[in-house]
Structure 1
Amino acid sequence: MIFYSSKIPSNTLQTIDQDYYWFSGTAYLGIAQHPTFKRNLIESLVQWGSSWGSSRNNNVRLSIYEEAEQALAQFFGAPAALTVASGMSAGQVTVSYYQSLEYHVEIAPKTHPALWPHHKHLPIDSYEEWASTISENISKNLAEKIVICSDSVGSPYVEDFDFSWIKTLPKNKEIVVVIDASHSLGIQHIADFLGFEPDFNDNVHLIVTGSLNKAMGMTGGVILGKPEIINHLRHTPMFAGASPMMPALLDAFMLSTGLYYEQKEKLIHNIQYFTENLEVDYLDTIKNYPAFCTHREGLHDFLKNHGVMTSCFPYPTVHDQPVSRLVISAMHNEDELLYLAQLCNQFAKISG
């Protein structure tokens, strides 16, 4: 069933027929609804307007882009950053560039379409199976230049990916690893989902792409990597010919940097409070991660009947078993989190 709302949900969702507690979406930090960020955005709109109708490579440029990209690189712990109009653009600009240089492309299972090259199909094996053979397959591949693409974390069904395979890649080839971290940026450091501190200057070049329209609360995308790579991507036709991010959003980010850290602390507290009150084992998640998933039938309808709205749809195809996904955000309070946990506990008892 589809529900329509004339108002963006925060911790509640208002529909035509009923109000619900909202435990869905990807606004993990609640930035877009936060009064401080909205005030900063209004101030930024006055200065920068709503859009910049020009190529970023024009001879006239807005200083806010380079300033914000330096701030984003520092915020995410990367050497350099490049902003684009969306997370999809971030992935496609990156992958298309390496395809133009005739790099062979390998894709991990469950990778987002942002990193799909043309005429390439996703592997059907599990991530673990793929990871266990990728280094050997790369060694046997006749190509000397290779791009490997992966998501940072499974979505919409939560799955923790083991990136230790990166350390086993052959040293005698030019290898670029591109990771779409759309669901990690802002709530996980790069080292958190990699499992080790990233070395952007290693012979295996790391690039992180992602949407800023989730935890970061901004319509746009970002590419993170070493300055030389970012400079190459900046001069590609796909970047030069695309409209940039809204400049006022980037200015609002710079005015609100402290708020992001505050909201992350609230989010971690909310996740821990929810899990402490949870007495079930049918919800899959990752430590300190805001999404909880299950294939167990009936949970979505049970919660909806008790005034809680989550997401539930088949994935990855319409023929697959529906995924129920519960999302905790920094906007929730303890009463709401306790209510959700109690409902999940109650459902476990009645569903067996």
Structure 2
Amino acid sequence: MSSYYSIDHLPGRTIQFEGQDYLFFSGTAYLGMAQNPAFQALLAEGMARYGTMFGSSRNGNLQLSIYEEAEAQLTAFAKAEAALTLSSGMLAGQAVVSWLKAQGLGFLYGPKAHPAIWQDPNTSLPTLSFADWTAQLPELVAAAATPHVVIALNSLDALCSMRYSFDWVNQLPEGPDITLLVDDSHGLGVIGPEGSGIGPMIPRRPNVRLIVTASLAKAMGMPGGVIFADPKTLQSIRHTAFFGACSPIPPAYLYAFGRAQTLYRTAFDRLQANIARFESRIGPSDRFQHIPAYPVFYTEQDQLYSYLLANRILIYSFAYPTPADKPNTRIVISALHQPEDIEQLADCLDGKTG
């Protein structure tokens, strides 16, 4: 397992440690919005108008219109039917799970499903490959103990950079009601048309209700979470005590988001260019597992971490999701990186055999 390092500043394309600069190819700030000066300026405008926090229930008798405005913009961004924001991605997932659980629905979990969409903290996840698991889904749904079943899974495997096909949705039984609950925390802003996320890429079925949850703290650069679903579903979730008791996302961030659409598009294009540059440099390689046009490059060669660190390049490598798990080692490209950063990383990798 890699060591832990403590710094006193926000990582960007570089970090400073013990008086030296290191290139930083880790984290989940894929679009680099937290370090984007123009986004920071919009956030400062938002804080001047809304302060640092709105300490009230979203269901209170005094409401801020910025929430509905931003949710409409998020809906358009994700090409969804409607959106509802909460103060974290974990909370977004658990608000949905709490609502579904209250209805007594049965849950089927996909491999590596994020804890945000677990019904029980002791949930046991399938150990099958994603393809093998989806091949069994029609039979599992048909055999479910409840007439309405929830299929809860991630939009992709961000840990190991593996794409998930959703073609299997077309093979689900037509009879039972099905809720497809998808955590898109590592996809929103990065995958799909113009970064719109997984939603537009999932087939629609009359008996399958789609609910997508996501953290906004990754590519989108905001401390919050979002639920995408049909308006009736979101209205029902909004009326739960779980949602009513939640603190909302700080409104200043939603103010900034609403005025930053050009910044997001520019960052998305920059990210794609950086990924393409790195892909072209490393070429076909058995060292990395990688979704084309996705910023994560996973490797089973954990020793790569120490080698790159000795060359003042810090990559992602630590046990996840618990300290007992195997270290996950991966290179993460962001929109912040300069072409020379990508070249330096690739040159360093060229000098590493194995």
Could you say which TM-score interval applies, normalised by the shorter chain?
over 0.9
Counterpart of 1:229? 233
Q: What amino acid does structure 2 have at the position aligned with 1:248?
A: A
- What is the Cα deviation at residue 194 of structure 1? 6.8
Matches within 5 A, 1:82-231: 82-118=84-120, 119-189=122-192, 193=198, 196=201, 198-199=203-204, 202-231=206-235
Work out the percentage of aligned pairs sharing the same amino acid: 38
Q: Does the 8 Å CA contact 1:82/1:222 hold for their aligned counterparts?
A: yes
Q: Give the match for residue 294 of structure 1.
A: 299
Match of 2:43 in 1: 41
**Aligned-partner Cα distance in 1 for 2:232–2:100:** 14
Contact kept in structure 2, 1:312 and 1:325, CA below 8 Å = yes
Alpha-carbon deviations, 1:16-58, whole Å to 9, x = none?
3532000000000011111100011101110111101110001
Q: Retained in 1: the 8 A contact 2:30–2:219?
A: yes
SS of 2:273's partner is helix
- Give the number of equivalent residue pairs: 348
Aligned match for 1:309, one of 299, 302, 314: 314
Q: Is the 8 A contact 2:79 2:199 kept in 1?
A: no
Segment drifting more, 126-135 vs 26-35: 126-135
Within a 5 Å distance, the mapping from 1:52-67 to structure 2 comes to 52-67=54-69
Is the Cα contact below 8 Å between 1:6 and 1:15 reproduced in 2? no
Partner SS, residue 340 of structure 2: helix
- Segments ≥4 residues shifted beyond 6 Å: none
**1:121 counterpart letter in structure 2:** S
**Aligned mates of 1:108, 1:79 — CA distance in 2:** 24
CA deviations on 1:235-272 (whole Å, 9 max, x unpaired) are 11111011000000000000111110110000000000
2:251 aligns with 247
Residue equivalent to 1:269: 273
Deviation at 1:142, TM superposition (A): 3.2
RMSD: 1.7
Aligned equivalent of 1:335: 340
- Deviation by residue 1:44-83 (Cα, 9 ceiling, x = unmatched): 1101111011100011100000110000000111010000
SS in 2 for 1:130: helix
Alpha-carbon separation, structure 1, partners of 2:200 and 2:231: 23
User: CA 1:197–1:108 in structure 2 vs 1: closer, same or farther (change >3 Å)?
Assistant: closer
Structure 2 unaligned blocks of 5 or more: none
Letter matched to residue 213 of structure 1: A
Report the CA distance between 1:153 and its aligned residue: 1.0
The answer to whether the 8 A contact 2:170-2:203 is kept is: no
Report the TM-score when normalising by structure 2: 0.94
User: What is the alpha-carbon distance in structure 2 between the residues aligned to residue 181 and residue 196 of structure 1?
Assistant: 12
TM-score (structure 1 length as normaliser):
0.95
CA distance in structure 2 between the aligned counterparts of 1:281 and 1:166, rounded to whole angstroms: 31
Report the CA distance shift for 1:329/1:316 in structure 2 as closer, same or farther (over 3 A).
same
TM superposition shift of 1:157: 2.1
Quick one: distance in 1 between partners of 2:14 and 2:311? 13
3-state secondary structure, aligned to 1:223: strand
Give 3-state SS (helix, strand or coil) of 2:175's partner.
coil
Q: For residue 16 of structure 2, what is the amino acid of its counterpart?
A: Q
Q: CA deviation at 1:129?
A: 1.6
Q: Do the aligned residues in 2 keep the contact of 1:295 with 1:322 (CA within 8 Å)? A: no
Gaps of 5+ in 1: none
